[in-house]
Amino acid sequence: MMKAAVFRNPGQPLVVEEVPLPAPGRGAALIRVARCGICGSDLHFTERHAQTAPSGTILGHEYAGEVVALGAGCERLRVGDRVIAMPIWGCGSCGACRADRPIHCIRLRPMLGGFAEYALIGEAVAHRLPALVSFADGALVEPLASALHGVRIADVKAGDHVLVLGAGAIAAGAIFWARRMGAARIVVLARSSTRASLVRHLGADAFIEDAGGDLELVHDVLGGPPDIILECTGASGMIERAIGQVRPMGRVVSLGMCLHRDAFVPATAQAKEIELRFAYAYGARAFRDCLNLFDSGDVAASAMVTGMTDLAGLPETFEAQRAGGSGCKVQLGF
């Protein structure tokens, strides 16, 4: 048996209880969880809508830990290895997997379960953590990979003026990567200024507190409308605002996850001939690139981890994050 934070029903906090220890099947490994980040999508899956997680689900997909048991057919990993793994375990052979889009794999196995003492991972999507990469940084690879995938879809290039909407973990990662891809100016617009110094540390040039009105101030700071807008809030109405503010022929990429019906006027986008794209998850390449970043000694992104909780405190911390939290990335740690 092991302790885990279990989702029961929307509107109820997670419940820490004893559950059976999962047994690793073919190609899977069991890890003792060392760190697991709380993600906006974990919060989304516990809300009431078409994508609510089934009752009894153990969420948590941003994990790092130590291998304690191996299923049949595992050849690469050893007991005692410090590892991270993509929570997206594709078959490896379908068209989507061959195109490095495992999230669209027809035989996809989502590997959640990180909000527990032990969790299962797929050996094929696991990476050993280099000796100098901490579990905390290892558990940041997953959200950073989501951000990197979105910034690559936005095709941020040297000299681009970028507006980032939001200052949560995905926005923080997007700022980090946009800066490293050579954006000339990065302005962040968010409702609360609590993360202003963090986003500056990650590479933003300016932070503007969003009063909900038009974005003229953004134009002043950028010297004109942005070339690219990265929508990272997932809030209703933001895509419409982005379409209204991006330059003609510019790009709007939605990295936030809006689960509600949302409206915009297509003719506004049409008249400017903008590109509107959506980014979801990542592939093996982005995941590896983010691990290599930490392995190279570039640990600026470590600052995204702003808090920790133990398993007993997780349900309360989880609800605090839902209410807006003040930190960026909070991790479960053992």
Give the residues lining the site for Zn ion (CB under 5 A). 39, 90-91, 94, 97, 105
Closer to Zn ion at the Cβ: 105 or 133?
105
Question: Nearer Cβ to Zn ion, position 109 or 277?
Answer: 109
Here the tokens at position 322 are 């839902």
Helices in the chain by DSSP H: which ranges?
Answer: 40-45, 95-98, 135-138, 141-153, 169-180, 196-202, 216-222, 238-245, 266-272, 284-295, 314-322
Neighbouring C-beta atoms of residue 157, cutoff 10 Å: 12
Q: Quick one: 39 or 221, whose CB is closer to Zn ion?
A: 39
Report d(CA 330, CA 223) in Å as an integer: 35
Cβ at position 142, least distance to Zn ion in Å: 5
- For residue 61, the minimal CB distance to Zn ion (Å) is 6
d(C-alpha 147, C-alpha 150), whole Å: 5
CB closer to Zn ion, 19 vs 281: 281
Question: Is 90 or 327 the residue whose CB approaches Zn ion more closely?
Answer: 90
Q: CB of 232: closest distance to Zn ion in angstroms?
A: 13
Instruction: Give the burial string for 254-272 (b: 16+ CB within 10 Å, else e).
Output: bbbbbeeeeebeeeebeeb
Cβ at position 265, least distance to Zn ion in Å: 32
Tell me the two tokens of residue 282: 């990542």
The least distance separating Zn ion from the CB of residue 334, rounded to whole angstroms, comes to 19
